[in-house]
Chains A and B, each alone.
Chain A
Amino acid sequence: MKIRHWLLMVLLGGLAGCATTTPLEPRELVYATSSEETFREAVELMVEQGYVVRHADLSLGRAEASLARWPEYRLQLQVSEEGSGSRVRVSALKGSQPLPPYLLDPWLVALQHKLGVAP
Protein backbone atom coordinates (compact mmCIF):
# COMPACT_ATOMS: atom_id res chain seq x y z
CA MET A 1 0.00 0.00 0.00
CA LYS A 2 2.82 2.35 0.92
CA ILE A 3 4.65 1.74 -2.33
CA ARG A 4 1.49 2.50 -4.26
CA HIS A 5 1.09 5.80 -2.42
CA TRP A 6 4.66 6.76 -3.16
CA LEU A 7 4.20 5.91 -6.81
CA LEU A 8 1.08 8.00 -7.02
CA MET A 9 2.82 10.96 -5.36
CA VAL A 10 5.77 10.78 -7.74
CA LEU A 11 3.49 10.55 -10.78
CA LEU A 12 1.32 13.42 -9.60
CA GLY A 13 4.44 15.51 -8.98
CA GLY A 14 5.67 14.71 -12.46
CA LEU A 15 2.36 15.60 -14.03
CA ALA A 16 2.21 18.88 -12.12
CA GLY A 17 5.67 19.72 -13.43
CA CYS A 18 4.42 18.98 -16.90
CA ALA A 19 1.45 21.30 -16.61
CA THR A 20 3.33 24.41 -15.53
CA THR A 21 3.99 26.77 -18.39
CA THR A 22 7.53 27.93 -18.84
CA PRO A 23 7.82 31.58 -19.87
CA LEU A 24 8.45 32.35 -23.52
CA GLU A 25 12.16 33.05 -23.70
CA PRO A 26 13.52 34.78 -26.81
CA ARG A 27 16.91 34.17 -28.38
CA GLU A 28 18.81 37.32 -29.35
CA LEU A 29 21.55 38.22 -31.74
CA VAL A 30 22.98 41.56 -32.86
CA TYR A 31 23.61 42.13 -36.57
CA ALA A 32 25.71 44.83 -38.23
CA THR A 33 22.99 45.55 -40.80
CA SER A 34 20.27 48.19 -40.47
CA SER A 35 17.07 47.18 -38.72
CA GLU A 36 15.01 47.58 -41.90
CA GLU A 37 17.27 45.33 -43.95
CA THR A 38 17.45 42.77 -41.14
CA PHE A 39 13.67 42.74 -40.75
CA ARG A 40 13.06 42.31 -44.48
CA GLU A 41 15.50 39.43 -44.72
CA ALA A 42 14.15 37.80 -41.55
CA VAL A 43 10.57 37.84 -42.88
CA GLU A 44 11.80 36.48 -46.20
CA LEU A 45 13.65 33.69 -44.40
CA MET A 46 10.44 32.66 -42.65
CA VAL A 47 8.52 32.51 -45.95
CA GLU A 48 11.44 30.68 -47.57
CA GLN A 49 11.24 27.98 -44.88
CA GLY A 50 7.52 27.51 -45.55
CA TYR A 51 6.20 29.50 -42.61
CA VAL A 52 3.03 31.44 -43.35
CA VAL A 53 3.48 35.01 -42.10
CA ARG A 54 0.29 35.97 -40.28
CA HIS A 55 1.32 39.48 -39.40
CA ALA A 56 4.30 41.71 -40.02
CA ASP A 57 4.90 45.41 -39.58
CA LEU A 58 8.07 47.04 -40.76
CA SER A 59 7.73 50.19 -38.65
CA LEU A 60 7.02 48.18 -35.49
CA GLY A 61 9.69 45.67 -36.38
CA ARG A 62 7.46 42.78 -35.38
CA ALA A 63 6.31 39.70 -37.24
CA GLU A 64 4.55 36.46 -36.47
CA ALA A 65 4.52 33.35 -38.61
CA SER A 66 3.21 29.83 -38.24
CA LEU A 67 4.03 26.41 -39.63
CA ALA A 68 1.15 24.01 -40.18
CA ARG A 69 2.70 20.99 -38.59
CA TRP A 70 0.97 19.35 -35.64
CA PRO A 71 0.35 20.94 -33.16
CA GLU A 72 1.31 24.13 -35.08
CA TYR A 73 4.57 25.94 -34.57
CA ARG A 74 4.66 29.69 -34.22
CA LEU A 75 7.62 31.98 -34.65
CA GLN A 76 7.68 35.48 -33.16
CA LEU A 77 10.17 38.01 -34.41
CA GLN A 78 11.18 41.39 -33.07
CA VAL A 79 13.83 43.58 -34.66
CA SER A 80 15.03 46.79 -33.00
CA GLU A 81 17.81 49.28 -33.62
CA GLU A 82 21.06 48.71 -31.78
CA GLY A 83 23.66 51.42 -32.42
CA SER A 84 24.32 51.36 -36.14
CA GLY A 85 23.09 47.77 -36.41
CA SER A 86 20.07 45.81 -35.29
CA ARG A 87 19.06 43.39 -32.57
CA VAL A 88 16.90 40.39 -33.44
CA ARG A 89 14.77 38.68 -30.81
CA VAL A 90 13.10 35.48 -31.89
CA SER A 91 11.01 32.99 -29.95
CA ALA A 92 9.06 29.89 -30.90
CA LEU A 93 6.03 28.02 -29.65
CA LYS A 94 4.99 24.43 -30.27
CA GLY A 95 1.25 24.50 -29.76
CA SER A 96 1.05 26.51 -26.55
CA GLN A 97 4.39 25.31 -25.17
CA PRO A 98 7.48 27.50 -25.65
CA LEU A 99 10.37 25.82 -27.42
CA PRO A 100 13.79 25.90 -25.75
CA PRO A 101 15.62 29.02 -27.03
CA TYR A 102 18.76 27.11 -28.09
CA LEU A 103 16.71 25.54 -30.92
CA LEU A 104 16.58 28.98 -32.55
CA ASP A 105 20.36 29.31 -32.93
CA PRO A 106 20.46 27.66 -36.39
CA TRP A 107 17.74 30.07 -37.51
CA LEU A 108 19.74 33.10 -36.34
CA VAL A 109 22.81 31.74 -38.12
CA ALA A 110 20.78 31.21 -41.31
CA LEU A 111 19.73 34.87 -41.06
CA GLN A 112 23.40 35.84 -40.74
CA HIS A 113 24.19 33.97 -43.94
CA LYS A 114 21.22 35.57 -45.70
CA LEU A 115 22.42 39.02 -44.68
CA GLY A 116 25.97 38.18 -45.69
CA VAL A 117 27.38 39.01 -42.25
CA ALA A 118 28.32 35.48 -41.20
CA PRO A 119 31.68 35.36 -39.42
Chain B
Amino acid sequence: MKSIPISFTCLLALAGCQVVPDRLPQAEPAPAASCYFPATHERALEASVEVLTEWGFTLNSTDTSLGLISASRERPLHGYYDPYDDAYSFGHGMRLFGGLGIGRGGSGVGFGIGGIGYGGGVGQQPVEVERVSLLVDDTHIRISRDIRRFDHWGDLRESYSASNDDFCQRFQTSFTQTVPATGRPL
Protein backbone atom coordinates (compact mmCIF):
# COMPACT_ATOMS: atom_id res chain seq x y z
CA MET B 1 0.00 0.00 0.00
CA LYS B 2 3.01 2.22 0.45
CA SER B 3 3.39 2.54 -3.31
CA ILE B 4 0.12 4.45 -3.72
CA PRO B 5 1.31 7.78 -2.24
CA ILE B 6 4.57 7.40 -4.19
CA SER B 7 2.66 6.80 -7.42
CA PHE B 8 0.53 9.84 -6.78
CA THR B 9 3.61 11.99 -6.22
CA CYS B 10 5.16 10.72 -9.44
CA LEU B 11 1.94 11.33 -11.36
CA LEU B 12 1.76 14.86 -10.04
CA ALA B 13 5.37 15.44 -11.06
CA LEU B 14 4.59 14.13 -14.53
CA ALA B 15 1.51 16.31 -14.82
CA GLY B 16 3.69 19.32 -13.97
CA CYS B 17 6.10 18.30 -16.70
CA GLN B 18 3.49 18.20 -19.42
CA VAL B 19 2.06 21.68 -19.05
CA VAL B 20 2.34 23.54 -22.34
CA PRO B 21 0.63 26.91 -22.77
CA ASP B 22 -2.01 27.05 -25.48
CA ARG B 23 -0.41 30.11 -27.03
CA LEU B 24 2.70 32.23 -26.81
CA PRO B 25 2.18 34.37 -23.71
CA GLN B 26 2.18 38.15 -23.77
CA ALA B 27 2.51 40.62 -20.94
CA GLU B 28 -0.69 40.86 -18.94
CA PRO B 29 -1.71 43.58 -18.55
CA ALA B 30 -0.32 44.87 -21.85
CA PRO B 31 2.16 47.78 -21.68
CA ALA B 32 0.47 51.04 -20.65
CA ALA B 33 -0.50 53.52 -23.34
CA SER B 34 2.09 55.98 -21.99
CA CYS B 35 4.85 53.47 -22.87
CA TYR B 36 4.40 54.52 -26.49
CA PHE B 37 4.79 58.21 -27.07
CA PRO B 38 5.79 60.55 -29.91
CA ALA B 39 9.40 61.73 -30.03
CA THR B 40 10.60 63.30 -33.23
CA HIS B 41 13.80 64.67 -31.80
CA GLU B 42 16.97 63.81 -33.70
CA ARG B 43 18.82 63.13 -30.47
CA ALA B 44 16.06 61.06 -28.87
CA LEU B 45 18.35 58.05 -28.47
CA GLU B 46 21.08 60.05 -26.69
CA ALA B 47 18.53 61.72 -24.42
CA SER B 48 17.01 58.34 -23.53
CA VAL B 49 20.41 56.91 -22.63
CA GLU B 50 21.07 59.99 -20.51
CA VAL B 51 17.82 59.60 -18.58
CA LEU B 52 18.39 55.89 -17.97
CA THR B 53 21.99 56.28 -16.79
CA GLU B 54 20.95 59.15 -14.55
CA TRP B 55 18.43 56.82 -12.94
CA GLY B 56 21.17 54.29 -12.19
CA PHE B 57 20.64 51.93 -15.10
CA THR B 58 23.59 50.28 -16.78
CA LEU B 59 23.45 49.63 -20.50
CA ASN B 60 23.45 45.95 -21.40
CA SER B 61 23.26 46.26 -25.16
CA THR B 62 22.49 48.92 -27.73
CA ASP B 63 21.99 49.09 -31.48
CA THR B 64 22.01 52.64 -32.74
CA SER B 65 21.00 51.77 -36.31
CA LEU B 66 17.95 49.96 -34.97
CA GLY B 67 17.39 52.51 -32.19
CA LEU B 68 17.37 49.97 -29.37
CA ILE B 69 18.58 50.39 -25.80
CA SER B 70 18.57 47.48 -23.39
CA ALA B 71 19.43 48.42 -19.80
CA SER B 72 19.05 47.10 -16.28
CA ARG B 73 19.53 48.15 -12.67
CA GLU B 74 19.82 46.20 -9.48
CA ARG B 75 18.90 47.13 -5.93
CA PRO B 76 19.37 45.13 -2.74
CA LEU B 77 16.27 43.99 -0.89
CA HIS B 78 16.51 44.10 2.87
CA GLY B 79 14.56 41.51 4.82
CA TYR B 80 13.05 40.16 1.64
CA TYR B 81 10.01 38.02 2.11
CA ASP B 82 8.28 36.12 -0.65
CA PRO B 83 4.53 36.78 -0.44
CA TYR B 84 3.78 33.60 -2.40
CA ASP B 85 5.67 31.32 -0.08
CA ASP B 86 3.19 30.20 2.57
CA ALA B 87 5.76 28.11 4.40
CA TYR B 88 7.25 31.26 5.86
CA SER B 89 4.08 33.23 6.37
CA PHE B 90 4.77 33.93 10.03
CA GLY B 91 6.90 36.99 9.54
CA HIS B 92 8.50 39.22 6.98
CA GLY B 93 11.97 37.99 6.16
CA MET B 94 11.88 35.33 8.84
CA ARG B 95 13.29 31.94 7.99
CA LEU B 96 13.23 29.04 10.38
CA PHE B 97 15.86 26.34 10.15
CA GLY B 98 16.06 23.08 11.93
CA GLY B 99 13.11 22.18 14.01
CA LEU B 100 11.20 22.74 17.16
CA GLY B 101 10.38 19.78 19.30
CA ILE B 102 9.06 18.85 22.64
CA GLY B 103 9.73 15.33 23.78
CA ARG B 104 8.90 13.41 26.91
CA GLY B 105 11.18 10.59 27.80
CA GLY B 106 11.05 8.23 30.72
CA SER B 107 12.47 10.65 33.21
CA GLY B 108 12.67 14.11 31.65
CA VAL B 109 11.28 16.66 29.20
CA GLY B 110 13.36 17.83 26.19
CA PHE B 111 12.91 21.06 24.30
CA GLY B 112 14.98 22.39 21.42
CA ILE B 113 15.00 25.00 18.70
CA GLY B 114 17.16 24.46 15.64
CA GLY B 115 17.71 28.04 14.69
CA ILE B 116 15.91 31.09 13.47
CA GLY B 117 17.33 33.33 10.77
CA TYR B 118 16.08 36.81 10.17
CA GLY B 119 16.38 38.61 6.86
CA GLY B 120 19.69 37.88 5.25
CA GLY B 121 22.56 35.76 6.30
CA VAL B 122 22.30 32.87 3.89
CA GLY B 123 24.25 32.98 0.67
CA GLN B 124 23.91 36.40 -0.86
CA GLN B 125 21.84 39.53 -0.54
CA PRO B 126 18.37 39.28 -2.08
CA VAL B 127 18.17 41.59 -5.08
CA GLU B 128 15.60 43.15 -7.33
CA VAL B 129 16.59 43.38 -10.99
CA GLU B 130 14.74 45.79 -13.20
CA ARG B 131 15.18 45.46 -16.96
CA VAL B 132 14.11 47.96 -19.56
CA SER B 133 14.16 47.89 -23.34
CA LEU B 134 13.58 51.03 -25.31
CA LEU B 135 12.94 51.23 -29.03
CA VAL B 136 13.41 54.63 -30.63
CA ASP B 137 12.30 55.18 -34.23
CA ASP B 138 11.91 58.38 -36.24
CA THR B 139 8.57 59.27 -34.73
CA HIS B 140 8.00 57.38 -31.48
CA ILE B 141 9.56 55.74 -28.43
CA ARG B 142 8.31 52.40 -27.17
CA ILE B 143 9.20 50.99 -23.75
CA SER B 144 8.94 47.56 -22.16
CA ARG B 145 10.06 46.74 -18.63
CA ASP B 146 10.10 43.89 -16.15
CA ILE B 147 11.05 43.24 -12.55
CA ARG B 148 12.53 40.06 -11.10
CA ARG B 149 13.36 39.32 -7.46
CA PHE B 150 15.99 36.86 -6.34
CA ASP B 151 16.28 35.44 -2.80
CA HIS B 152 19.29 34.64 -0.59
CA TRP B 153 20.05 31.57 -2.63
CA GLY B 154 20.07 33.48 -5.90
CA ASP B 155 16.84 31.74 -6.92
CA LEU B 156 14.20 33.60 -8.88
CA ARG B 157 11.23 34.12 -6.57
CA GLU B 158 9.10 36.70 -8.34
CA SER B 159 8.97 37.98 -11.89
CA TYR B 160 6.47 40.20 -13.59
CA SER B 161 6.12 42.62 -16.47
CA ALA B 162 6.18 46.21 -15.30
CA SER B 163 5.61 48.32 -18.42
CA ASN B 164 3.32 50.42 -16.28
CA ASP B 165 1.98 53.93 -16.50
CA ASP B 166 3.99 55.17 -13.51
CA PHE B 167 7.40 54.32 -14.95
CA CYS B 168 6.59 55.45 -18.50
CA GLN B 169 5.12 58.76 -17.31
CA ARG B 170 8.21 59.47 -15.22
CA PHE B 171 10.41 58.56 -18.18
CA GLN B 172 8.46 60.85 -20.50
CA THR B 173 8.77 63.76 -18.07
CA SER B 174 12.53 63.31 -17.63
CA PHE B 175 12.94 62.78 -21.35
CA THR B 176 11.23 66.03 -22.30
CA GLN B 177 13.34 67.86 -19.70
CA THR B 178 16.57 66.33 -21.04
CA VAL B 179 15.94 66.81 -24.75
CA PRO B 180 16.40 70.61 -24.99
CA ALA B 181 19.70 70.35 -23.10
CA THR B 182 21.25 67.70 -25.33
CA GLY B 183 20.31 68.95 -28.76
CA ARG B 184 18.12 71.13 -30.87
CA PRO B 185 14.69 70.08 -32.11
CA LEU B 186 14.17 69.26 -35.76
- Closest-CB distance, A13 to chain B (whole angstroms): 11
Is A2 part of the contact surface with B, judged by Cβ < 8 Å? Answer: no
Knowing A43-B68, A53-B133, A69-B161 are in contact, say whether A99-B21 is a contact too (CB < 8 A): yes
Interface size on B, residues (CB 8 A): 45
Taking CB as reference atom, which chain A residue is nearest B142? A47
Tell me the total A-B contact number using a CB cutoff of 8 A: 126
Knowing A53-B70, A70-B159, A94-B21 are in contact, say whether A7-B3 is a contact too (CB < 8 A): yes
Residues of B within 8 A of A (CB): 3, 7, 10-11, 13-14, 17-18, 20-28, 30-31, 36, 60-61, 63, 65-66, 68, 70, 131-133, 135, 137, 142-148, 156, 159-163
Pair A58/B3 contact, Cβ less than 8 Å? no
Interface of A is mostly: mixed
List of B residues within 8 angstroms of A46 by Cβ: 144
CB under 8 Å from chain B, chain A span 65-119: 65-73, 75, 92, 94, 99-100, 103-104, 106-107
Pair A100/B20 contact, Cβ less than 8 Å? yes
Bound CA–CA A90/B161 (angstroms): 21
List of A residues within 8 angstroms of B28 by Cβ: 50
Taking CB as reference atom, which chain B residue is nearest A19? B17
Pair B160/A68 contact, Cβ less than 8 Å? yes
- 19 additional contacts, CB 8 Å, given A18-B14, A52-B145, A106-B24? A14-B14, A40-B66, A40-B137, A44-B137, A50-B27, A52-B132, A52-B133, A52-B144, A53-B133, A54-B133, A56-B61, A56-B66, A68-B148, A68-B161, A69-B159, A69-B161, A72-B159, A94-B20, A99-B20
Pair B133/A47 contact, Cβ less than 8 Å? yes
Pair B135/A47 contact, Cβ less than 8 Å? yes
Pair B160/A65 contact, Cβ less than 8 Å? no
Pair B144/A69 contact, Cβ less than 8 Å? no
Pair A49/B26 contact, Cβ less than 8 Å? yes
